[in-house]
Structure 1
Amino acid sequence: MKTAFRTVLLLLLSLYSLTGLAQNMIEGVRIWPSPDNTRVVFDLSDQPDYSYFFLKQPDRLVIDFKNTDNIAELTQLPKDGDRIKRIRTSLSKGKRAVRIVLDLSNQYDEKVFALPPTGPYGNRLVVDLHDRQKTPLVTRKPRLKNRDIVIGIDAGHGGEDPGSISKSGTHEKKITLSIAKRLQRIINAEPGMKAEMIRTGDYYVNLNQRTRLARKKQVDFLVSIHADAFHSPRPRGASVWIANDRRAESELSKWLKNREKNSELLGGGGELIKRTNDDNLAVFIADLTKDKSLEISDRIARNVIAELQKVTRMHKTQPQNASLAVLKSSDIPSMLVETGFISNPYDFKNLMSRTHQEKLAKAMFNGIKKHFYDYPPQDSLIANMRPTKHKISRGESLSVVAQRYNVSVQQLKLANNLKTDVVRVGQTLTIPRVN
């Protein structure tokens, strides 16, 4: 009944437009609450002609749509959102106009913009209401001794951005969040490790905001989870992507232009960058940070590929380099995992399987865990939990073992009463604890 009424109303409004009345229609309203902002999307039949302003006591956002009629249901608000009390219409000054009022619970920073038709969506007007920040987003807190190693998990897309869409209409954003939550659970079950989610529900997080959130949460590593797509159903398999040197260099140069503001993000090395008057020294220190980040990213990516090969077909068997926004921060080691092709029927079937999602999450975890057990940060709990003995395997040298456990070759030789650097396969070494 409602569908029939809506169809008739659309036809009537279309006839009205032919007789010189409103040319545009508000066909629907969608609301996407998130921890830091709320996005309101007005679906329209044509490109919007609009203006807006705020009123106080009480706080309201008023939007005037020119030459527009409204057939959208405005009474439905999500239960988990508290920034918007009500959306309603009000009297408009124009005869062929609609005035929409958002009754707000507080004052917010706004961003209002129109979007053209793309993917499953037509013309839209987007309203983003952001909480006003009382403190800088990137303030670093001192880390505690024996701390957890923090892994940031970024579920790709979300909210208004569905990502790729399967033939059956399943959105990539749904798959990525499901896998991300499984990875979160596995990481949090591991002593000495903690997961931090970039998004926890179906809402959109700006790409730049994703890395800012990762930095705010002081992650040691960031993994972004996606599902690939292609115009042909033939390609299939997983792949792992890391930042290329060119992107890292570009981001590094931007940071160095504003050393005073950005250096705090780099921890101890950042203080040196901020205080030195020597530009060459600043570049050298920042470059070391970038190189270390890329080295860690590449090492973990290779670990994860080795684990993924055990549970799924691989589209690429080596880490791929790309200039991707979520991988842009030269101070945060990171990787992007394409878990399969949503456009391939075999991959899609697997990606919709809870069992397969669990295997993918476990493989990612195993690859990440291997690195941090081999090279734990010195202030982490895992660094103090590591083995005190190591058995030499084929191809291992004293320097390789020293690097793995973050000790010097000399410390290894003293702990094991070694006169030379020569070790033999099967030999067991004592690993000294170094504070």
Structure 2
Amino acid sequence: MTAKRPRNAGLYGLMLAGLLALAPALQAADIQSVRVWRAPDNTRLVFDLSGPVQHTLFSLSAPERVVIDVPASSFKAAVNQLELKDTPIQSVRAAMHTATDLRVVLDLSAAVNAKSFTLPPNQQYGHRLVVDLYDMQAGAVSQVSAPNVTPAPTVAPVPAPQPSSAPKVPGKLTPLPSRGSRNVIIAIDAGHGGEDPGALGPNGLREKHVVLEISKELQRQINATKGFRAELTRTGDYFIALRRRTEIARAKGADMFVSIHADAALRKSAYGASVFALSNSGATSETARWLADKENQSDLIGGVGGINLDEHDKMLRGVLLDMSMNASMSSSLDVGQKVLNNMGRITRLHKQRVEQAGFMVLKSPDIPSILVETGFISNPGESARLATKAHQQALAKAVSAGLREYFHNHPPVGTYLAQQKDSGKLPQGPRQHIVSRGDTLALIATRYQVPLTRLRQANNLSTDVIKVGQTLAIPVN
């Protein structure tokens, strides 16, 4: 006689398999080192681990502390040399909370909003536990959160600058040229930063450092140009989330967003600079996200462009948002081509036309945005050039020239450049377009907002047939 199989044997087997799958995560791990990064509104601690861990995080007050409990772990990091200046952290201490469980305590000088998460290994680091401490707003009340609760960061809203005002920002600024007009504002975004080094060059050159230097030089050159002002999304070596970068640009009232990067590839022979604008698929997905987010609906165009999406029905909101996104993409492709053409005069190009992709930092429906890959940091030759001040200055000059050319032709209403153009004092720069695969004459006319007949006349075309690589003169509209 055979024994009966338990009715829930299959379920028991699945539960056992699940427990076995979790076993590696429950193994003992060491905290091997700690790193600290300070940003303008938050402090990030990164705990390097010998393996994956589980953890809980909670806050205590009187005095202010953040507590991290890490089961089945030990603390082997040296914390005496941590650079805690200008952070709310007064000390980092650790002890065994139970026979096997570790407790790490951050003693604070002020209340913070804390959140945490773990990261898997990458090409540079192993397992990591990341703790972000966000500065509290002035007058905010500290709250004690229970274990396993990770409060969301509170970001103080920053009002967009008024046309007649000159916001105070670090560094040299170009004063407003005349009463009643304002500068064109360029938001410059140095990619990566802090715990995210970006691509690595063959000699240890880090993308985050190179692009910050290029961004600072670009800011210097733009601020030296009458009618322009440049703002950096990050001014030092710290991490900023991708969407937060565009939020900073919007809060500063940016007319253009330029993200600076240095590319990498598995093939060390890959070379050349590139410029990217948002793709159609990226625009479609972002439009859907904005329409689905009721908070964004009122903040987007209502706060920046004077059209409140909440005042219209769903269909009209979609039409308005599509129009804003299409206009932003068209402007992005236009300015991107001008930047690319200027970069081609000082460095080799990876592609002769602006490429399109769904990069998160390009998804602003209300701000034309481009991403500039200054070269392949993985290429030994280009890496060496990217590390030099001379090449960084040349790249910044090329990007700045492309931006000036675009805004001389399309100055935003209320700016000094628009005032100069209306009075006939602003020279029109030459406009050219290099035909790339997929271009049609009608598409180019739409992109540059010129009548198709004028585009034909300017290039002595009897038909609409054009060839890849052909250079077209774009008439002033």
TM-score relative to the length of structure 1: 0.81
Residue of 127, 137, 140 corresponding to 2:157: 137
The residue aligned with 2:141 is: none
The C-alpha deviation readout for 1:93-147, integer Å capped at 9, x for no partner, is 3123332111112222222111111111011110011123577536445432311
The percentage of counterpart residues that share the same residue type is 40
Structure-2 change in CA distance of 1:98 and 1:234 (3 Å) = same
CA distance in structure 2 between the aligned counterparts of 1:371 and 1:325, rounded to whole angstroms: 23
- Cα displacement (A) at 1:250: 1.7
Structure-2 change in CA distance of 1:345 and 1:141 (3 Å) = closer
The residue aligned with 1:50 is: 55
The residue aligned with 2:322 is: 287
- Cα displacement (A) at 1:356: 0.5
The residue aligned with 1:27 is: 32
- Cα displacement (A) at 1:81: 2.8
Give the SS at the match of 1:177: helix
Q: Is the 8 A contact 1:86 1:104 kept in 2?
A: yes
CA distance in structure 2 between the aligned counterparts of 1:392 and 1:326, rounded to whole angstroms: 30
CA distance in structure 2 between the aligned counterparts of 1:394 and 1:333, rounded to whole angstroms: 21
Question: RMSD value over aligned CA atoms?
Answer: 3.1
Residue of 335, 351, 367 corresponding to 1:300: 335
The residue aligned with 1:100 is: 104
Q: Is the 8 A contact 1:273 1:286 kept in 2?
A: no
The residue aligned with 2:120 is: 116
The residue aligned with 2:269 is: 234
Paired amino acid for 2:90: K
CA distance in structure 2 between the aligned counterparts of 1:167 and 1:277, rounded to whole angstroms: 54
- Cα displacement (A) at 1:268: 7.5
Q: Does 1:347 align with 2:352?
A: no
Q: Is the 8 A contact 1:63 1:100 kept in 2?
A: yes
Paired amino acid for 2:191: G
Q: Is the 8 A contact 1:152 1:221 kept in 2?
A: yes
The C-alpha deviation readout for 1:185-233, integer Å capped at 9, x for no partner, is 1111111111111111111100111111111111100000111111111
Q: Is the 8 A contact 2:298 2:310 kept in 1?
A: no
Paired amino acid for 1:247: G
CA distance in structure 2 between the aligned counterparts of 1:45 and 1:272, rounded to whole angstroms: 52
The residue aligned with 1:15 is: none
- Cα displacement (A) at 1:363: 0.3
Q: Is the 8 A contact 1:273 1:285 kept in 2?
A: no
Structure-2 change in CA distance of 1:341 and 1:277 (3 Å) = closer
Structure 2 matches for 1:362-401, cutoff 5 A?
Answer: 362-386=397-421, 388=424
Give the SS at the match of 1:224: strand
Q: Is the 8 A contact 1:140 1:264 kept in 2?
A: no
Structure-2 change in CA distance of 1:271 and 1:310 (3 Å) = closer
Q: Could you list the runs of 5+ residues in structure 1 that have no partner in the other structure?
A: 1-21, 397-402, 407-421, 424-430
Q: Is the 8 A contact 2:43 2:87 kept in 1?
A: no
Q: Does 1:59 align with 2:64?
A: yes
Farther off after superposition, 121-130 or 143-152: 143-152
Residue of 46, 69, 77 corresponding to 1:72: 77
Q: Is the 8 A contact 2:214 2:396 kept in 1?
A: yes
Paired amino acid for 1:143: P
Residue of 206, 209, 225 corresponding to 2:241: 206
- Cα displacement (A) at 1:72: 1.1
Q: Is the 8 A contact 2:263 2:376 kept in 1?
A: yes
Structure-2 change in CA distance of 1:353 and 1:277 (3 Å) = closer
Q: Is the 8 A contact 1:138 1:215 kept in 2?
A: no
Farther off after superposition, 61-70 or 325-334: 61-70
TM-score relative to the length of structure 2: 0.74
Task: Work out the number of aligned pairs and report it.
Answer: 384
Q: Is the 8 A contact 1:273 1:282 kept in 2?
A: no
- Cα displacement (A) at 1:73: 1.2
Structure-2 change in CA distance of 1:138 and 1:295 (3 Å) = farther
